Amino acid sequence: MNDITETAHDATGLEGVVKIDELPWIDIGVGDNAIKVLRVCPETQQHTVLIRAPAGQVNQRHIHSGPADFYVIEGEIEYRGGTIKKRGLGLRSGRITA
C-alpha cells in the first residue's frame, strides 16, 4: 500500500460529515498537486478527492477509468471539454483521456 491507498482505505464506509480541514494533504507526485481523499467506495473503487493545484499547473494527458465530476472552488481549470471557472461543475462520462 502507498500513502494514497492507506488514506483512501481509512475513508471507506464513511457516512455523515467529513471534516475536510482535519484530513492531510497527500502529494501525488505530479507537479505540486496534492489531494485529500474524502470518500472511497470499496465495491466500485469510485472515490471523491479534493485536489489542490497551483496556478498555472499543467498536467500531462492521463486516463480516467470511469466518469469524472469536478467542482472548482477557487480559480479555474482548463481541460478538453472547455474551461470551468470558480463555482463551476465539469462532468465527463465513461473512460476518458484528460
CA atoms within 13 A on the CB side of 57: 16
**Residue carrying the nine cell digits 498537486:** 33
Q: If pLDDT is split at 50, 70 and 90, which confidence band does 6 have? A: low
User: How crowded is residue 23: how many other Cβ atoms within 10 Å of its Cβ?
Assistant: 16
Q: If pLDDT is split at 50, 70 and 90, which confidence band does 87 have? A: confident
Per residue in 28-81, pLDDT tens? 888 888 989 888 888 888 888 888 888 888 877 777 777 777 778 888 888 777
Give the predicted TM-score (pTM) of the model.
0.67
Per residue in 16-42, pLDDT tens? 778 888 889 999 888 888 989 888 888
Of 8-17, 36-45, 82-91, which gets the smallest average pLDDT? 8-17
What's the pLDDT at 20?
87
